Amino acid sequence: MEKQIENEPYYHGLLPREDMKAMLKNNGDFLLRMSEPHAKGERAIILSMMVREEKQEAGMKHYVIRQTNGKVSIERFAFSNIPEMINFHLTKNEPISEKDPETAIKNPVGRQHWELLHEDIESTKKLGEGAYGEVHAGKLRLKSGTKVNVAIKMAKMESLTKEQIKEVMREARLMRGFDHPNIVKFYGVAAGTEPLMVLMELVDCGALDSYISKNPNLPPTKRMEMCCQAAWGIEYLHHKVVIHCDIAARNCLYGDGKVKISDFGLTREGETYKMDPH
C-alpha cells in the first residue's frame, strides 16, 4: 500500500507519535503514516487525525487502513486505492468512523521541512558502518534546487526493532533544534520508504580522534583551538538545556578548521541527568 501514497504530501512514512503532537492541532487535521513494527515485524498504514483539539494528544484518533481482496478500507467503505479513499472523505465530508461523527477529515497536514524524499537523495560512496546500519557520503537536493554534500545514515527498517526506530527518531528530533557552527548540521529524515535515512552535513576530515592520530604534530595552539571549539558547542547544548552524556573526540567531527559535536544517541534533555552506577 505504501507505493500508492509515497508521493502524497500527507503521507509521512515512519512518523513517531511524539512528532505528531506538533502537526495535528485543529479538529479535522489529518495525516497518513507507517506504523512501527509489531512482534511479527509487520507494518500498517495509519490514518491519524485530531478529533477533539481541547484534549491535545488525547484528542487524536488513529485508524488502521486495511487491504482485503484488492480493496482498501477503514470501516464502512471500500476503495480501489488510498488516494481515492482520502478524496472521498474530504469531498463528501463523510466521517471516517460511523461511531463518531466528529471524525470527518478536513485539513491534510503536509511534510515538514525536515521530512525528506528519497528521490532528492543520492548516495555516492560508502564510508563505513554505524550503530544501526551503513554510513554513506552523498548529495541532497534542497527545495531551492541546490545540491549539498551530506553524510547519510541508512538502515533497513525491517532490520530495526521498534525501540531502535524510536531511538533513531528521538536523536533526529533533538538535532532539529540545533543551529551552531560547532554542532554538526542536521538536514532531515527520509522515512517514507526503505531504507530509513538520517542526513547530516558531510564533514570532510571525519572523526576528530582519527584526525589527531593522523596528524600527531599539531601545534599546541591548534589543539587549544579545537578544545575551545568543542567547549563552545557544549556551552550551546547546555544553553538549549541538553546534556550530551558522551563527549569524546570519537564523537566529534573535524573539517574546514572547525570541531563539530555529533553522535547524540545518549543525549538527554534537562539540566541534570543521574546515571545508575550499577
Is residue 277 one of the residues assigned to a domain?
A: no
Query: Mean of the per-residue pLDDT values for the chain?
Result: 91
How many residues are there in the chain?
A: 278
Q: Sheet harboring 147-155: ordered strands across?
A: 121-129, 134-141, 147-155, 196-201, 186-190
Rg (CA), the chain: 22
Annotated catalytic, 246? Answer: yes
Q: What is the pTM of this model?
A: 0.85
Together in a domain, 45 and 175: no
- Measure the CA dihedral 3/4/9/14, to 10°: -50
Per-residue pLDDT tens for 175-193? Answer: 999 999 999 999 999 988 8
Is residue 12 one of the residues assigned to a domain?
A: yes
Q: For position 2, what pLDDT does the model report?
A: 67
Is residue 174 one of the residues assigned to a domain?
A: yes
Strand partners, 64: 46
Together in a domain, 101 and 134: no
The answer on pLDDT for 112 being more than 70 is yes
Together in a domain, 9 and 94: yes
Is residue 96 one of the residues assigned to a domain?
A: yes
Q: For position 1, what pLDDT does the model report?
A: 60
Total structural domains within the chain: 2
Per-residue pLDDT tens for 78-97? Answer: 999 999 999 999 999 999 99
Is residue 113 one of the residues assigned to a domain?
A: no
Is residue 275 one of the residues assigned to a domain?
A: no
The answer on pLDDT for 157 being more than 80 is no
Together in a domain, 26 and 132: no
Range of the domain at 95: 2-108
Percent of the chain residues topping a pLDDT of 70: 95
Q: Which of 29, 120, 246, 263 is catalytic?
A: 246
Q: Calculate the alpha carbon distances from 231 to 48, 213, 225, 226, 258 in Å.
A: 42, 21, 10, 9, 12
Domain end position, chosen among 55, 89, 108? 108
Those residues whose C-beta lies under 8 Å from the C-beta of residue 58, and which sit 6 or more positions away, are 52
Identify whether 195 is preceded by a cis peptide bond (ω within 30 of 0).
Answer: yes
Together in a domain, 90 and 132: no
Please answer whether residues 108 and 10 qualify as being in contact, where contact means their C-beta atoms are separated by less than 8 angstroms. yes
Q: For position 41, what pLDDT does the model report?
A: 58
The rounded Cα 43 to chain-centroid distance in angstroms is: 17
Q: For position 156, what pLDDT does the model report?
A: 74
Q: Which amino acid is at 132?
A: Y
Q: For position 129, what pLDDT does the model report?
A: 83
Is residue 278 one of the residues assigned to a domain?
A: no
Helix or strand (DSSP H, E) at 259 = strand 258-261
Residue 83: CATH number of its domain: 3.30.505.10
Distance CA 121, CA 98 (A): 42
Domain end position, chosen among 81, 108, 135? 108
Together in a domain, 162 and 252: yes
Task: Provide the 3-class DSSP secondary structure of residue 49.
Answer: strand
The answer on pLDDT for 40 being more than 60 is no
Together in a domain, 145 and 74: no
Q: For position 160, what pLDDT does the model report?
A: 76
Together in a domain, 159 and 253: yes
Per-residue pLDDT tens for 22-34? Answer: 899 999 999 999 8
Please answer whether residues 24 and 31 qualify as being in contact, where contact means their C-beta atoms are separated by less than 8 angstroms. yes
The answer on pLDDT for 239 being more than 60 is yes
Q: Categorize the per-residue pLDDT at 142 as very low, low, confident or very high, splitting at 50, 70 and 90.
A: very high
Mean pLDDT of 45-53: 95
Together in a domain, 58 and 189: no
Please answer whether residues 193 and 13 qualify as being in contact, where contact means their C-beta atoms are separated by less than 8 angstroms. yes
Together in a domain, 255 and 133: yes
Residue 238: CATH number of its domain: 1.10.510.10
Together in a domain, 168 and 248: yes
The answer on pLDDT for 273 being more than 80 is no
Q: For position 38, what pLDDT does the model report?
A: 58
Is residue 274 one of the residues assigned to a domain?
A: no
